[in-house]
Structure 1
Amino acid sequence: MNNFTLGCAYRIITPSLGTLLYGYPNKRPADKVNDDLRCNVMAFGYGKPDSVLISMDLCSFPEPVANRLAVEINSHTNIAKEKIAICATHTHSGPCLSTIVGWGDFDTDYFENTLIKNMLDACDEAINCAKEVLLGVASTDSYVGINRREILPNGQVTLGQNQWGAFDPTMTVLSFIGKDDKKPFANLIHYGCHGTAAGHATPITRDWSGIMVDRLTTETGAFTMYVNGAEGDVGPRLSNGKTVGDISLMTELGGIAANDAVKAFKKIKTYRDVNYSVITDEIKLPYKPFPSIEEMEAKVEAMGDPEKLWPMSQLVRSTLLKRIEAVKKGEFKSHMVINQVIFAFNDVVIVPFGFEVFSEIFLRLKKYSPFENTLGISNSNAANAYLPSLDQIPRGGYEVTQFTGRNVYALADNTDDNIINENIRLIEMLLENGHIQ
């Protein structure tokens, strides 16, 4: 007998006024709350839930922070760390939980005294309210996002709008209804786009996705959660022609997203028992070898006075110094090792990535996947910078500089191929292990 159960809950995780909003290096102290930030939890399994998918209205958090959160959940609920996926919606109007040089200080007080407690409370409620459900799925095209790697006449890539750049318009809604009462119980929206529509504003906000979530909640009367897809090279399609705006522009775009989410939901005609599977395994991504000490020292010297550098250049300089130190100590790692978890619900497979993933990568993942609905999630269980597709690396630009210059160990240029193949291996193992779509 199929007894798949799902529980869901959220808690408010809005920081105090005066908090420095994270996402851009210019200082933006929060002066008011436009809408509350949330920690949203879905807990699921056969019988009592044994896995959780969490979506927080935050920009991102590094792997050590995600690990700490998973340890807290494991200790509190006894759910295995390996079956926990914690992702960020990527709003740029929330608190800083990053440790990146030049991007502000980690908000320890917020993390310890607001985020952890509320996350655990939401996990408790989600687990305790779990009930048997049926699942329906539908998608629609949405033009809330647009490729943001605008190419200038001189060939330089800047942050803006690129009408011909890679972009996945698919918005997918998973709708869960009670197995007995057939009433809407929970919704999960998947779509890829940066949360920067209000990126120049000073209020705290979930950005455009908050309006979408609230609308589908009202339409269905059910808990609604959003997870971000391929947002690495996708920004909001703002009417100002830019990739950042204010509350007014955010509200405008959020209304479009809300309409699209409701449209997708209304396309769902069939609900089925849920066949659920989870797979966990290590995936390995090769690193590049270090350049010579002489080459790196020359680059540092050419940068000049570090006090006069922009935050991105400060970050690159800091990374170069760490690489020089690693070479002197004879330290080198051959691979990044990621503890991956993948969830499957009927013909839907959810694949978390600890990167801001470029569109082509998730489009290829969907193409190669044997599942009808393959939903890749960015900024999950880590924030290891951007993950560009190989074709974009020669173009350079902000995201590519982050990919090549943010971390001490730089991933190989063809990491897109490597990470796709590793995840397809695990997706195919789900079917080999008996998952039924």
Structure 2
Amino acid sequence: MAELRIGMAAADITPAIGTPLGGYLGRPRFEAMGIHDSLYAKVAALQGDGGPVLLYSLDLLGLTEERTARIAEQVAKACGVAAEDTVVACTHTHSGPSVVPLRGIPAVDEGYFDYLATRMTEAGRAALQELRPASLLVGSVQSATGVNRRAATDGAISLGENPEGPYDDQLLVLRFLEAESERTLGVIVSYGCHLTSLGASPLISAEWAGLAMAALERDLGCTCMFLNGPIGNVSPRGRDSTWARTGQIADAFRADCRRALSEAAPEAGLPLATAQQPVALPLAPLAPQAEVAATLAEAEATLAARGEEPSKRSARVQRDYALAAERCRREACQQERQAVTLTGVRIGPVAFLGMPGEVFAEYSLRLREEVPFRYSTVLSNVGAEVGYLPTRAAFEEGGYEPTSFVYFGVQGLDPTVEDVLFAGGRALANTLWNR
């Protein structure tokens, strides 16, 4: 087995002031009014027996599958790396540019994506130039940064705090030491929680995770990358959306990372592999025609009444969804399944199982018990952002996540998606294990 080599780098991908921000429909205004802290494309270049792997983490809400594939292919070609070995994850910051098409939210200018690809290429080339033989230390601790956010209120599920609900408290760190000097070459941190502590702030920010990584970089003198885990039903603890609270979350998370680093143990035998697992997500049928008609009538009544922005934005979303659903019914464009790809990366005893959306914590918790790896976690928003990936129980309970498809589509997922994702996750892990 060849020795592991690693190089890490980062490039600034902060958009200009005035760029439309994503993440929240109810913003007083969508244009960014300033920059609190920069957004980055961070990359780990890894090489073992075969060609190099580029593992990216972008401080962005997410990217469509088509956009991700196009940028990854462009970056891979420019860096001399195989496209299938160029893995793109997004942290899902809600204080970044509007890069995911959502009803009611203006989109970022197309030129931003050219800028993004250029900066990712620069970071990838820099990381490849820094490849050094390395040893690996892995640490895992519990962190209470996140909390289940699906709270039951008066018999209904709403966004809040559910201390009894499941969330994945595993904070995983990978520390790479230069083989000769034992200096730290880079750190990868993974934990699952929404980056929403700021609420609808008008300032660009990488949120609490970005602030924590910046502090770690000052501590360690190297690039520290954050990979967001199963975030679908997890938000940071506390409900006040302030910079003070965000700073407190970042400080506490940094302390948890330092604790994990102090407990990290060296690993021997470091196979490196990537894998892809195609899956077909089952889609629910279109809502009944009468239900869609009622949604349209209610939305149009709201829009006809007096009121100012942004109070009418939600009604516009509902109206546009209903019109699109009616058009789909007329044109018979209803689909039964949506083809997506799960993407995995193995680094020694660690398996990162990437899924193309906002994954519920239960997927990571259960797969960890079923896969052969000593350390594993499910990552969100890898390769695409297709929306929430709930469990069967969440569909039965209802709430925001299972119904949020109205912001971007006309059909939601079918509850049997749980079976598909568990089977796909197991298959992906087994492929990584056997490579």
* TM-score normalised by the chain length of structure 2: 0.91
Residue 295 of structure 1: CA displacement? 4.9
Contact 1:49 1:130 in 2 (8 A): no
Contact 2:275 2:428 in 1 (8 A): yes
Q: Does 1:396 align with 2:398?
A: yes
Contact 1:171 1:264 in 2 (8 A): yes
User: What does the per-residue CA deviation read over 1:53-76, in whole Å, with 9 as the maximum and x for residues that have no partner?
Assistant: 111111222222212211221331
Q: Does 1:142 align with 2:143?
A: yes
Is the alpha carbon distance of 1:212 and 1:111 closer, same or farther for their aligned partners in structure 2, counting shifts above 3 Å?
A: same
CA–CA distance in 2 between the matches of 1:177 and 1:84? Answer: 23
CA–CA distance in 1 between the matches of 2:55 and 2:133? Answer: 17
Is the alpha carbon distance of 1:222 and 1:125 closer, same or farther for their aligned partners in structure 2, counting shifts above 3 Å?
A: same
What does residue range 222-233 of structure 1 map to in structure 2 within 5 Å? 222-233=222-233
Contact 2:30 2:106 in 1 (8 A): no
Aligned to 2:205: 205
Unaligned runs of 5+ in 1: none
Q: Please, which of 245, 249, 256 is the counterpart of residue 252 of structure 2?
A: 256
CA–CA distance in 1 between the matches of 2:52 and 2:123? Answer: 15
What does residue range 338-357 of structure 1 map to in structure 2 within 5 Å? 338-357=340-359
Aligned to 2:126: 125
* TM-score normalised by the chain length of structure 1: 0.91
Is the alpha carbon distance of 1:61 and 1:287 closer, same or farther for their aligned partners in structure 2, counting shifts above 3 Å?
A: same
User: Runs of 4+ in structure 1 displaced over 6 angstroms?
Assistant: none
Is the alpha carbon distance of 1:188 and 1:44 closer, same or farther for their aligned partners in structure 2, counting shifts above 3 Å?
A: same
Is the alpha carbon distance of 1:121 and 1:421 closer, same or farther for their aligned partners in structure 2, counting shifts above 3 Å?
A: same
User: What does the per-residue CA deviation read over 1:39-87, in whole Å, with 9 as the maximum and x for residues that have no partner?
Assistant: 1011223267532211111122222221221122133124232222211
Aligned to 1:116: 117
CA–CA distance in 2 between the matches of 1:321 and 1:81? Answer: 38
Alignment-mate amino acid for residue 217 of structure 1? E
CA–CA distance in 1 between the matches of 2:79 and 2:430? Answer: 30
Q: CA RMSD in A?
A: 2.2
User: What does the per-residue CA deviation read over 1:253-281, in whole Å, with 9 as the maximum and x for residues that have no partner?
Assistant: 11000100000011013243421122223
Residue 383 of structure 1: CA displacement? 0.9
Unaligned runs of 5+ in 2: 305-310
SS in 2 for 1:270: strand
Contact 2:161 2:237 in 1 (8 A): yes
Q: Which shifted more, 137-146 or 406-415?
A: 406-415
Aligned to 1:22: 22
SS in 2 for 1:165: coil
What does residue range 259-408 of structure 1 map to in structure 2 within 5 Å? 259-293=255-289, 295-305=291-301, 307=303, 310-403=312-405, 406-408=408-410
Is the alpha carbon distance of 1:165 and 1:84 closer, same or farther for their aligned partners in structure 2, counting shifts above 3 Å?
A: same
CA–CA distance in 1 between the matches of 2:267 and 2:184? Answer: 11
Aligned residues between the structures: 427
Q: Does 1:187 align with 2:187?
A: yes
Aligned to 1:58: 60
Residue 90 of structure 1: CA displacement? 1.4
Contact 2:343 2:355 in 1 (8 A): no
Q: Which shifted more, 41-50 or 193-202?
A: 41-50
Is the alpha carbon distance of 1:319 and 1:364 closer, same or farther for their aligned partners in structure 2, counting shifts above 3 Å?
A: farther
Contact 2:282 2:416 in 1 (8 A): no
CA–CA distance in 1 between the matches of 2:150 and 2:246? Answer: 20
Alignment-mate amino acid for residue 244 of structure 2? S
